[in-house]
Amino acid sequence: MHLEPNYWKIEFSKLPSYGKQYPPDASMRFRCLNMRDLKYLSGMNPNNAHDMVNDLVKRVLVLDNMELSDVLAMDRLSIIFYIRTNTFMLSNGYQTEFTCPFCGARVRSDFKMSDLHVKRITESKLGTCRVEGIDEEISSVYKKFYDPVHRTGDPEVDDILNWTNIDQILRGTDSEMKDAVEGLLAPDYAKLRRLANDAKCGILSYADLSCTQCRRELRVGVNISDDNLFNKVRMYTMIKNQIQVSKYCGIVLTDDMPYNEVELTIGIVNELSKKEAEAMQKGKK
Ligand SMILES: [Zn+2]
């Protein structure tokens, strides 16, 4: 039996771009991840994470009057957060670890999507600049969903490559482009950094958290890369839950089942079996 899943609308007003660059009649809906999607994700590592998450978004997002290739990169992360928050209803927090600069304590802290800073497109500014050694004018740009994402290991260089068209001018591997950008004169590098920073928007990778030891508030950088975004539900755990639930109460958790329902079913089954065990204990006394 295959049932059509439920789809929820993503309001454009909630996206960093406000959907202003999308056609006026366009709309966006998504479904929760199901067991099959999560089994697919269990094979994720830092190298394939971006492509796998793109595959997943393609599976679950339904677009009307627009294409996935039109979706702005700045909205991509927000869309992923929507999918994630609705899929893991019982476990949708994130954890981060940091060393408190005030008291030196090593802190493990939970944070929510809403703790992350968001810079909207209205606070962003596009511009152009010229640097020595490159003939063409360099512009800051809003990249699209399928544009390559550059990861050089240096966040500043990444911003320059991901928020300007210099990658289209240099056209090399990430490490070649990193060398070229780092080889620029210091004032030119600073110009590019400013150009990229003014344009950069969307969900930013820091949150204001407080130290669990000294209670002071501080701004903490958090890892929101693709491979860190999904709870890594292990394949073993998923299959074990499928077997346990079916053995205990005869409900078959199919791969088509949305994971939020799976999570709830497992929770309820555990609760019921606990109560039953307690009742049996009482009966024995
Ligand atoms: Zn502290």
Q: Which spans in 27-170 are helix H?
A: 35-41, 49-60, 73-87, 155-163, 166-170
Q: What tens digit of pLDDT does each residue of 244-265 get?
A: 888 888 888 889 989 888 888 8
Residues 6 or more apart whose CB falls under 8 angstroms from that of 129 comprise: 137, 138, 191, 192, 195
- Residue extents of the structural domains in the chain: 125-200, 235-284
- Note the pLDDT of residue 285: 64
- Note the pLDDT of residue 187: 97
- Note the pLDDT of residue 137: 97
Q: Shortest CA distance to 181 belongs to which of 144, 239, 114, 133?
A: 133
Confirm whether pTM is higher than 0.75: yes
Q: Which residue has the higher pLDDT, 181 or 277?
A: 181
CA distance 256 to 59: 13
DSSP conformation class of 153: S
Where residue 79 falls (left for φ over 0; alpha for ψ -120 to 50; beta otherwise) is alpha
- What DSSP string runs through 166-225? HHHHH-S-HHHHHHHHHTS-HHHHHHHHHHHHHH--EEEEEEEEE-TTT--EEEEE----
Q: How confident is the model at residue 213 (pLDDT cuts 50, 70, 90)?
A: very high
Measured in Å, residue 221 CA sits from the centre of ligand 1 at 16
Measured in Å, residue 106 CA sits from the centre of ligand 1 at 8
Measured in Å, residue 213 CA sits from the centre of ligand 1 at 5
Measured in Å, residue 210 CA sits from the centre of ligand 1 at 8
- Note the pLDDT of residue 70: 95
Mean pLDDT of the chain: 90
CA distance 200 to 226: 18
Instruction: Give the least confident one: 3-12, 22-31, 87-96, 128-137.
Output: 87-96
Q: What tens digit of pLDDT does each residue of 104-149 get?
A: 999 988 888 888 899 999 999 999 999 999 999 999 999 999 999 9
- Note the pLDDT of residue 18: 97
Measured in Å, residue 109 CA sits from the centre of ligand 1 at 12
The pair of structure tokens assigned to 123 is: 């606070």
Burial class (CB in 10 A: 0-12, 13-18, 19+), 211: buried
- Note the pLDDT of residue 92: 67
Measured in Å, residue 116 CA sits from the centre of ligand 1 at 20
Measured in Å, residue 98 CA sits from the centre of ligand 1 at 10
- Note the pLDDT of residue 2: 54
The pair of structure tokens assigned to 206 is: 């820091």
Q: How confident is the model at residue 268 (pLDDT cuts 50, 70, 90)?
A: confident
pLDDT beyond 60 at 7: yes
Residues 6 or more apart whose CB falls under 8 angstroms from that of 6 comprise: 31, 32, 258
Q: How confident is the model at residue 233 (pLDDT cuts 50, 70, 90)?
A: confident
Q: What tens digit of pLDDT does each residue of 168-188 get?
A: 999 999 999 999 999 999 999
Measured in Å, residue 209 CA sits from the centre of ligand 1 at 11
Phi, psi for residue 284 in degrees, rounded to 5: -70, -30
Mean pLDDT of 158-166: 97
- Note the pLDDT of residue 270: 85
- Note the pLDDT of residue 264: 87
- Note the pLDDT of residue 139: 98
Q: Shortest CA distance to 261 belongs to which of 245, 237, 277, 240?
A: 245
Measured in Å, residue 263 CA sits from the centre of ligand 1 at 35
Q: How far is CA 250 from the centre of its chain?
A: 35
CA distance 136 to 169: 8
Burial class (CB in 10 A: 0-12, 13-18, 19+), 133: exposed
CA distance 193 to 278: 63
Q: Which residue has the higher pLDDT, 26 or 88?
A: 26
Looking at the DSSP bridge assignments, the partners of residue 206 are 221
CB 177 within 8 A of CB 170: yes
Q: How far is CA 123 from the centre of its chain?
A: 21
